[in-house]
Chains A and B, each alone.
Chain A
Amino acid sequence: MMKNRSAAAPFAVWMLLFTIVPLGVVVWFAFTDAAGHFTLDNIAAIQGHLGTLAYSIALGALATVICLFLAYPLAYSISRKTERVQQTMVMIIMLPMWMNFLLRTYAWMTLLENNGLINRFLGLFGIGPLGMINTNGAVVLGMVYNFLPFMVLPLYSVMTKIDSRIIEAAQDLGSNGWQIFRRVVLPLSMPGIVSGITMVFVPAVSTFVITKLLGGSKTQMIGDTIETMFIGQAANYNVGAALSLVLMVLILLCMAFMGMVDKDEEGGLVV
């Protein structure tokens, strides 16, 4: 027991210093004014940013749904391949993550521009130029591209654990393709779906550079607003912290909700 505790000590110190204490600081700033007195004004100031918050959640949710629909069949088909093919394919999915996030997004900017590579290619066939850059679509594309691996990997790791014999058994018992998916694969992969959604939705909602590079910075997401609060002219840490706190609470609520869904599904399986 002693041994276990001392082994976990570095982690505990890390968590305390870099998670718990900073969180405490965020809460402190959110509930105080510039002079350090307790106030609820910062939390009330959020009313002015509800539109931005809703917009961020909408874009984040859309990106998450697209990721799920792209990643699910992909993860399933990878999980049914031989071990070697699986390793190669997972490697290919991970590959873009080895490059810096900013650089990847910057590359998309030059691809999508009116004189960008895609439009120049389409121009060869007399199509376009299509207005792709500086749109909401470009922002969602940027999110999907950057966060897709976070959806594929948890789905894949859950799906590799689905025994092929279970699927075969379902086939033997006369299930058609849809029934196998609905009654066998989907329930068994539910934990992967839940963690995939969480891992994509959370960073997508709070992202802040993608709108600048791909959205032309014409509409801010909540992450951009928080950034303006912290590094803008006034450096209003208090409202910035309050906005961060609200975002955190919203995300926690989403995760709690997802956790409940997860438990229900598992419960259903036992029955």
Chain B
Amino acid sequence: MKKTIGFVLAAGLILAMAGCTKETSGGSWDWASEPKAESTGVTLNVYNWGEYIDDSDVNVNDAFTHLTGIKVNYKNFTDNESMYALLSSGAADYDVIFPSDYMVGKMIRENMLAKINFDNVPNFQYIDESLKNPAYDPTNEYSVPYTWGTVGIFYNSEYVDEADLEDGWDLLWNEKYKDKIFMFDNPRDAFGIALKKLGYSMNTENPDEWQAAYEELVKQKPLVQAYVMDQVYDKMINEEGWIAPYYSGDGIIMMDEDEGNTAIKYFVPEEGTNLFVDAMCIPATAKHKTEAEAYINFMCRTEVAKANAEYIGYSTPQTEARKLLDPSIGENPNFYPPQSLLEKTEVFITLPDEINELQDSLWIQLKK
């Protein structure tokens, strides 16, 4: 789940809306009929994002306890930074955590993660090959992907000429749509798009390329109606504007038949984009490592991955689970882009401090 600026209330409303409209596709898994395991007396401490596990159709944690005899003490965090702060302070002992891509990289570098024994995670075989060995964990020893998604452009097909989509990211710089364009209100995503438009890496460490991206954003500013995060839902649905880059999984709410606007469509520009992953990891301080591996393995089980994918709305890395999803999702190239496009995506990795400082100061300069 992407870090969104704390419009807690707005997000709450949207989550509530998502809860109401969530469809339950038939044939959910009847775990209770499987044999109950003896209690092991172990309680696993799991730290995940809010609303990020199925607890309705299939209560995943209850199912895990039923089948393994391991109790789950399940807690939520709201963003990577607060999760990181809590773990690095040593004030918590979690066994399984769900950091995003760049945070996994940061925690690996700071020796905060334990190597996973993949003999205990046989279901790792179901994980999509293109999501294995990612840039943030190149040898894939510390993390197992849990959900993923891409950044693309949502547009209102009634007002936006689909021929203009050929331009890819340039659509966000098209004078024709002046004042109808929204842009990310966070530097990493906004600069990422500008860098990609210029054909640079989103993770470039070359200050000149950042400067060039900044120039692009300055050029774009007069065309932008507003820099937004979660306000984008309301603004796109009410047709305040027509074009907005956003996260594939979150944006699905905009296209909802009841709550959204059916004229809204989504595409991923050909130049490539940011692919984001939330992964499962085991902190170096974990007290129940084997049980943690059992939990991660359980999350990769087909029935569980399917239930979670349906509940959360993000793309699942579990290939078998994907086949069981409704074809409007599972076969939808917006949520599961073709291999040719996936090859052009990049995962964010943590940038060096001096680049981050440059990025912040350019961002502040842009907003002057």
Contact = CB atoms under 8 A, between A and B. Distances in A.
Contacts, number: 85
Interface-centre pick from B226, B356, B357 (highest chain A CB count, 10 A): B226
A269 B13 CA distance: 54
Interface string B330-362: 000000000000000000000101001101110
B364 A228 contact: yes
A220 B356 contact: no
Interface of A: 34, 48-49, 51-52, 100, 102-103, 106, 109-110, 113-116, 133-134, 212-213, 216-220, 224-225, 228-229, 231-236
A212 B185 CA distance: 9
Given A102-B7, A234-B353, A219 B367 contact: yes
B234 interface: yes
Nearest to A109: B231
Nearest to B188: A233
Contacts of B239: 115
A52 B367 CA distance: 9
A243 B223 CA distance: 31
Interface-centre pick from B81, B187, B361 (highest chain A CB count, 10 A): B361
Nearest to B239: A115
Nearest to A106: B10
Nearest to B235: A113
Among all A-B residue pairs, the 3 with the closest Cβ atoms: A216-B226, A217-B227, A234-B356
B9 interface: yes
A218 B226 contact: yes
A51 B365 CA distance: 11
A218 B235 contact: no
12 contacts: A103-B9, A106-B10, A110-B238, A113-B240, A114-B240, A133-B226, A217-B227, A219-B368, A228-B364, A234-B353, A234-B357, A236-B357
Given A216-B226, A217-B367, A115 B359 contact: no
B322 interface: no
B224 A228 contact: no
Interface residues of B, number: 32
Contacts of A102: 7-10
Given A102-B7, A113-B240, A220 B226 contact: no
B187 A218 contact: no
A103 B8 CA distance: 10
Nearest to A240: B360
Given A106-B7, A115-B240, A229-B360, 16 more contacts: A106-B10, A115-B238, A134-B225, A216-B226, A216-B227, A216-B228, A217-B185, A217-B367, A218-B224, A220-B368, A232-B187, A232-B356, A232-B363, A233-B359, A235-B81, A236-B360
B196 interface: no
B7 A217 contact: no
Nearest to A209: B7
B197 interface: no
Given A232-B187, A232-B360, A218 B231 contact: no
Contacts of A134: 225-226
B263 to A, nearest CB: 14
Contacts of A232: 187, 356, 359-360, 363
Contact of B9 (A106, A217, A231, A235): A106
Nearest to A221: B367
